[in-house]
Chains A and B, each alone.
Chain A
Amino acid sequence: MAQGTQNGIQNPIIRVRDITVQFGATRVLDGLDLDVQRGEILGFVGPSGAGKSVLTRTIIGLVPKVAGSIEVFGVDLDASSTSQRRNVERRWGVLFQQGALFSSLTVRQNIQFPMREYLRVSQRLMDEITIAKLTMVGLKPEVADRFPSELSGGMIKRVALARALSLDPDLVFLDEPTSGLDPIGAGDFDELVRTLQRTLGLTVFMVTHDLDSLYTACDRIAVLGNGKIIAAGSIADMQASQHPWLRQYFHGKRARAVMG
């Protein structure tokens, strides 16, 4: 299934309904609804501390929720059996903010880790696929035998993306993929996400703060505020919105600079 099925409005790949997440007395997400369509790149923005990462972590099951339901690939994650859940987890990849590469494994071992667990393929094929993935994320095969501590920040993000893609997932979560990268590196990364989305037919859920990413990479944007989605739509919709935070965000100095 490549990008052929972008018409699937009726069948969202992620379906979040009425999610509430609470830490102690603070309610971070409050009855939030969100759909992510197959094949799209959804940019997810909002003020710092609004709970963007919390929502991501809730969907992938790292943060417990108080109420609500989450369906990914049509599977209700609360009602699913272990094997169903395992199946869903095999079909998504996650890029953490700091990369979260296993520091005691080389780049090669990091990328092969999920393959080794989930697939029964020969070492030769794994090595070849590892090099293919590295090439896809724009790295040279030579980095395969380095350790994460010997990589630059941008390379760590790329390797982490290669690891997230190692099982050819249908869905990837990117948590601030361009934070900590220089503007050129960030631009390359946006381009990379776009290319991979086209070639692999990915659905991308991207939490970001980067206006450039929103303009160049995202098909649709969702805005989080006060624990709810306050707006969702194309970049044009966002610019037309009268919501004060959105006005500030999309019509501020930086936004004007980006739109140039």
Chain B
Amino acid sequence: MSGDPKLERIAKGNALALCATGTWTASFAPVLERMVADAEKLAGGPQSIFIDVSEVAKLDTFGAWLIERLRRSLTQGAVEAQIAGLSANYSSLVDEVRRVRATPVTDSSTITITGMLEQIGRAVAGVGGTVAGLIDMLGAVLAAGARTLIHPRSFRMTSTVHHLEQVCWRAVPIVVLITFLIGCIIAQQGIFHFRRFGADIFVVDMLGVLVLREIGVLLVAIMVAGRSGSAYTAELGSMKMREEIDALRTMGFDPIEVLVLPRMLALVLALPILAFLGAMAALYGGGLVAWLYGGVDPEAFLLRLRDAISIDHFIVGIVKAPVMAAVIGIVACVEGLAVQGSAESLGQHTTASVVKGIFFVIVMDGVFAIFFASIGM
């Protein structure tokens, strides 16, 4: 029953018959399209044309549409092309296709220089929107926090503890491991280069100051942004996609109070703890390398450390942690709530959450550095 489709031209008096034969289905679509395009050139001729489909073995939407397309392009002015020999089986399909009105497809994906400039402009203008969004969220979180202080019973303890477990307790192994390794590397590099001046012991000063003031908290904040910031965005984003956040709102709950506040609080509590653990792990790692590789025994290391650092260094480091946590949390929640309906949008916002989170953490670190330098800490 199947066979390659053909479209034969048979002259019948002053009329022209186009006899379609074979299988007119999707699998033969390229051949069919070429044949139909050839036959379309007959349009405008003097003779009347009819399309004979009585010999078509099999027809589907693709075939039916191509026959309909042929009929439409052969119909010009007074000359109307007819379809003849339609079997009962296929007549409803052809009727169905006849109802289709062909609308020219607008291709909007052309790339122009003005379009690119427009995109750059929009992106730059979007930066202001981003900052405004962050401030907006900060305000909303503070307001929700104040409401919770006035009505302590509305505070979501279970949720906060759950998130604390997720972002703090479960993050401890990886944070400790990575900061430990970074401590080892700093100490090793320090000893390797300081040894040339016979200044091995100063590696302890470098390690102490660097780890307590900068590396400890910065490294941990970046890890938390990647680990928990992305999780927050994905959680809130998928809830937004499935209208769960709208559901909360209609039940009279404030999503900021129910979803954002516990997450923010957990993060603000978690980051100082993680930063402290990270700093200790880095010092331990550095001390270990100083002992095994640099020959600085633990007692000498500790003595030197006590001279080199003061409580100020520790405070400078740890004070930054909750602020960075707040920045990460706000960025993550803003991005999460900005997710639109598609999976792609979820991916984009999760990426944006991590990138912006890390960026703002580093900016904050710079601001703090200037501040502490000017107050002499």
Contacts and interface: CB of A to CB of B under 8 A. Distances in A.
B122 interface: no
Nearest to A165: B61
Contact of B103 (A1, A4, A131, A168): A131
Interface string A98-113: 0000111000000000
B217 to A, nearest CB: 37
A120 B92 contact: no
A199 B93 contact: yes
A213 to B, nearest CB: 21
A179 interface: no
A115 to B, nearest CB: 8
B247 to A, nearest CB: 16
Given A148-B341, A168-B26, A141 B92 contact: no
A150 to B, nearest CB: 7
Given A135-B99, A135-B100, A149 B341 contact: yes
Given A103-B341, A198-B92, A120 B29 contact: yes
Interface stretch (A26-34, A121-129, A242-250): A121-129
B89 A121 contact: no
B323 to A, nearest CB: 36
A149 B340 contact: yes
Given A2-B89, A121-B33, A128-B65, A103 B344 contact: yes
A119 interface: yes
Main SS at interface, chain A: helix
B93 A129 contact: no
B97 A104 contact: no
A3 interface: yes
A128 B95 CA distance: 16
Interface in B26-58: 26-27, 29-30, 33, 58
B341 A125 contact: no
A167 B343 CA distance: 25
Given A2-B90, A201-B89, A168 B99 contact: no
Interface string B14-32: 0000000000011101100
A168 B96 contact: no
A103 B237 CA distance: 14
B30 A121 contact: yes
Contacts of B96: 132, 135-136, 195, 199
B202 interface: no
A215 interface: no
A99 B345 CA distance: 19
B246 interface: no
Nearest to B105: A127
A3 B93 CA distance: 11
A235 interface: no
A147 B25 CA distance: 29
B250 interface: no
A2 B69 CA distance: 21
Nearest to A124: B105
Nearest to A198: B92
B101 A141 contact: yes
Contacts of A168: 25-26, 60-62
Interface in A139-195: 141, 147-150, 165, 167-168, 195
Contacts of B93: 2, 199-200
Give the top 10 A-B pairs by smallest Cβ distance, nearest first: A149-B341, A104-B344, A2-B89, A103-B342, A168-B60, A121-B29, A199-B92, A199-B93, A104-B342, A132-B100
Given A132-B96, A135-B100, A199-B96, 20 more contacts: A1-B58, A3-B89, A103-B344, A121-B29, A121-B30, A121-B33, A122-B33, A128-B100, A132-B100, A135-B99, A136-B96, A147-B341, A147-B342, A167-B26, A168-B25, A168-B60, A195-B96, A198-B92, A200-B60, A200-B93
Interface of B: 25-27, 29-30, 33, 58-62, 65-66, 69, 89-90, 92-93, 95-97, 99-103, 105, 241, 340-345
16 contacts: A2-B89, A104-B344, A119-B26, A125-B29, A125-B66, A128-B69, A129-B65, A132-B61, A132-B96, A132-B100, A135-B99, A136-B61, A136-B96, A141-B103, A168-B25, A168-B26
